Structure 1
Amino acid sequence: MAESDGLITIGVLARASGLTASALRFYDDCGLLVPARVDPLTGYRYYTEVQQERAALIRRLRAIEVPLESISDILSGDVERAERLLDEHVDELQRRARAAADLAAKIKRTLAVGSMDDRVALPAALLAEAFEQVRNAAADNREIPVLAGILLEVRANSLTLTATDRYRLSTRTVVSRDRQGSDWSVVIDAGDLAPIIGWLRRLDEIVAAPTDQGLLLVGEDAERYCPLIDEPFPDCRAVLSGLAPVRTRVLTARLPLLTLLENSSPTVRFEIENAGLTVSDSSNRHHLPATVTGSDIDLFFEVTTLLPAIHTALGPDLMLDIAAADHPVVLRSATDGDLTTLAMPTWHPADR
């Protein structure tokens, strides 16, 4: 059989189509491109000129990784079905490309975290909760910039978060899952935390590390930076260790107290005695059941100071440790003992 008979050899077709001879033999064996004639004596395969176009199409389809079974359908002659199959295949390629890009990004983040000397791994939802609780004690204004921040301190197997606006102080400790490197501390801007808190709640674990760009938080799907405040933070350890001895302790239900404060005038009075706790403002007076140990005492609070501290406490009960009317009151939650909040009483309105 000669090419002059209108047929071409497998070698000619290979050169014309860009496919190898072995590929053409493979497509013959799977029925995708069957030769027009096979010499019974030599086994040589011969193709028609028309089959060059089919061979070229097969090469182009394989170049974009179309499966063999789909190629057969695409080349069947049904144009509408061929177009639909090609669109579906391209959609799948795009999905795989996105998945590969996401996986590559995760690998790069893993490599980046692994190269950091100082880092700590934490339960992400617990860190989000701690941010939410502590940030209410940060200052709303920038009169003293560092007071608008939260101090993060990594020591031993834990991360401690602290915020204060001079009238309130909240500190929370989160136990780490893993820790590498030395002790470190940074002050992050509390005003930028809302979207980060929402992101953390969707994750299982987060790795935190200090960098020149800010506090780096690396999760399973992305990374975030918390801007830093480059100023010395007040020595809150000294404040906590220097608290006067507790003279009065009050244990009361949190929700009724919270409801009262949400509907009170700006300043409220706490009358604490063995019979319980009485909360009053300029127009109302309410008695709340409470367990009181120690001395009777009267306190005045600005609602804007006290209410956020009670909002962030967890559990049904609230404990107040009181040293004196002009000392910070320590608020603790029975179900969340590692959260400590200090709220400063105010002067009696008549004394101003």
Structure 2
Amino acid sequence: MRSIGEMARDSGLSVSALRFYDRAGVLVPAWVDPVSGYRWYEPDQLEEARLLARLRRAGMPLADIRLVLAGWSSADTDLVRRLFQAHLRRLERGLADARGEFSTLRAVLDHRENPMTSLAATTARLSVPAPGLAAALDAVRFAASTDPDLPMLGAILFDIDGEELTVVATDRYRMAVARTAATGHDGPRVQALVPLPQADAMRALLQGEEPVRLAFDGDRVSLESGDRQTAGQCLAHDFPDYRRLVQLPAGRRCLVDVAAFREALRSGPVRASDVRTGDGGPCAVSVIRPADDGTVAVCTDGTDGQGVIGVNREFLLDALAAGARSELVLELGAPTAPLAIRRPDEAHTFSLLMPVRLED
């Protein structure tokens, strides 16, 4: 007999997915311990579990999967082949429909104002405290993308508005925003997209306590610190309007001790996920839930019920480290809403993480 953990490891299905398929009557364990409720599977059920995993990755509806599993070991496989063909036809029709919709959307986009932020022809010269800019870059650097297909996200947005400089990074799955004071720019709002290598070179110069001189001139950015300077070109791409993306309904705010919470995440259980992140690989999911004492608990792998949120564990650990505080506030909304990680003493520096769907 295989335990549910062994079945999950060898089949590619998560433990929570196996429980879901048991409740749905699709893949029922051979025996359930009447005391502990622990599920056990016969060895020959592994083939069915692997088949089920492949069918779900291919997007086959659960009703059809039930019929495929029922007919898989039958001498007459005609029904299974017909179900395969029917699902492939659905996928092909869906792809054709999606292509048509995107073609229409491109035409609409061509005839209206670009909803993203235009970053062309920027000019600004300002003075920024070195510690403030260093802290801001450290707070957002982890959220930048490494996807070569989205070069505009492999950069940090510099948004200069009056006496404030906001820096922003996002890879679609997470976003980080930080703000610092700036002086010397009394013109209109200016934005520039600084590629990561140039941003890293700028960060390397921010070692002292004195203000540094930051300049944007067209597509060129430069930073002077004492007698040292780094300069490079900005990206001629658009960047998402982050101000719209951070307008979230208020959630439940929970104060966490960062060191203790990070250790709970590292040592706690995780669920495997089919979700692919920027590097194309699957992510390990931690399940968290607001606790009665106003903190956040890392749930055990067997936790079911309301109020839990799945989150990419690596992303959450990165966000906690970038928060640079011994205590941080986690703001949890609906299971489908972004998780916000905020500093208790600083409203304009925060991170957002997209949740990972827990239901199969």
What's the TM-score bracket when you normalise by the shorter of the two chains? Answer: 0.5 to 0.7
The within-5 A match list for 1:33-44 is none
Residue number among 115, 121, 124 corresponding to 1:118 in the alignment: 124
Amino acid at match of 2:334: A
CA offsets 1:200-258 (integer angstroms, 9 cap, x no match) = 123511111112452111221121114422111011111122x2x22422112111112
Moved over 4 A (4+): none
Identify if the C-alpha distance between structure 1 residues 311 and 227 changes in structure 2 by more than 3 Å, giving closer, same or farther. Answer: farther
Residue number among 310, 314, 328 corresponding to 1:318 in the alignment: 328
Q: State the distance in 2 between where 1:198 and 1:144 align.
A: 25
Match of 2:188 in 1: 182
Deviation of the 1:346 alpha carbon: 0.4
Residue number among 175, 178, 193 corresponding to 1:172 in the alignment: 178
2:315 is the counterpart of 1:309: no
Match of 1:271 in 2: 289
Q: State the distance in 2 between where 1:188 and 1:226 align.
A: 8
The within-5 A match list for 1:35-54 is none
* Residues 147 and 233 in structure 1, CA contact (< 8 A), matched pair in contact too: yes
* Residues 212 and 224 in structure 2, CA contact (< 8 A), matched pair in contact too: yes
Amino acid at match of 1:345: P
Q: State the distance in 1 between where 2:187 and 2:139 align.
A: 27
The within-5 A match list for 1:82-231 is 118-202=124-208, 204-212=210-218, 214-231=220-237
Match of 2:98 in 1: none
Q: State the distance in 1 between where 2:334 and 2:292 align.
A: 16
* Residues 124 and 217 in structure 2, CA contact (< 8 A), matched pair in contact too: no
Amino acid at match of 2:320: I
* Residues 123 and 217 in structure 2, CA contact (< 8 A), matched pair in contact too: no
CA offsets 1:160-183 (integer angstroms, 9 cap, x no match) = 111111111111111114334432
Match of 2:264 in 1: 260
Amino acid at match of 2:260: P
Match of 1:94 in 2: none
2:308 is the counterpart of 1:298: yes
State the superposition RMSD in angstroms. 2.4
Match of 2:356 in 1: 346
Q: State the distance in 2 between where 1:308 and 1:336 align.
A: 18
Q: State the distance in 2 between where 1:146 and 1:117 align.
A: 19
Gaps spanning 5+ residues in structure 1: where?
1-115, 286-295
Q: State the distance in 2 between where 1:226 and 1:303 align.
A: 35
* Residues 154 and 183 in structure 1, CA contact (< 8 A), matched pair in contact too: yes
Amino acid at match of 1:278: A
Q: State the distance in 2 between where 1:226 and 1:318 align.
A: 35
Determine helix, strand or coil for the equivalent of 1:153.
strand
CA offsets 1:42-96 (integer angstroms, 9 cap, x no match) = xxxxxxxxxxxxxxxxxxxxxxxxxxxxxxxxxxxxxxxxxxxxxxxxxxxxxxx
Identify if the C-alpha distance between structure 1 residues 250 and 214 changes in structure 2 by more than 3 Å, giving closer, same or farther. Answer: same
* Residues 207 and 218 in structure 1, CA contact (< 8 A), matched pair in contact too: yes
* Residues 214 and 226 in structure 1, CA contact (< 8 A), matched pair in contact too: yes
Q: State the distance in 1 between where 2:176 and 2:311 align.
A: 17
Match of 1:251 in 2: 255
Match of 2:66 in 1: none
* Residues 201 and 230 in structure 2, CA contact (< 8 A), matched pair in contact too: no
* Residues 129 and 211 in structure 2, CA contact (< 8 A), matched pair in contact too: yes
Q: State the distance in 2 between where 1:274 and 1:150 align.
A: 38
Amino acid at match of 1:123: P
* Residues 151 and 161 in structure 1, CA contact (< 8 A), matched pair in contact too: yes
Determine helix, strand or coil for the equivalent of 2:152.
helix
Determine helix, strand or coil for the equivalent of 2:245.
helix
* Residues 132 and 180 in structure 2, CA contact (< 8 A), matched pair in contact too: yes
* Residues 321 and 330 in structure 1, CA contact (< 8 A), matched pair in contact too: yes
Gaps spanning 5+ residues in structure 2: where?
1-121, 271-283
Amino acid at match of 2:296: L
Identify if the C-alpha distance between structure 1 residues 258 and 273 changes in structure 2 by more than 3 Å, giving closer, same or farther. Answer: closer
Q: State the distance in 1 between where 2:263 and 2:181 align.
A: 32
Higher relative contact order (CA 8 A, sep 6+): 2
Determine helix, strand or coil for the equivalent of 1:136.
helix
Greater gyration radius: 1
Identify if the C-alpha distance between structure 1 residues 156 and 280 changes in structure 2 by more than 3 Å, giving closer, same or farther. Answer: same
* Residues 119 and 181 in structure 1, CA contact (< 8 A), matched pair in contact too: no
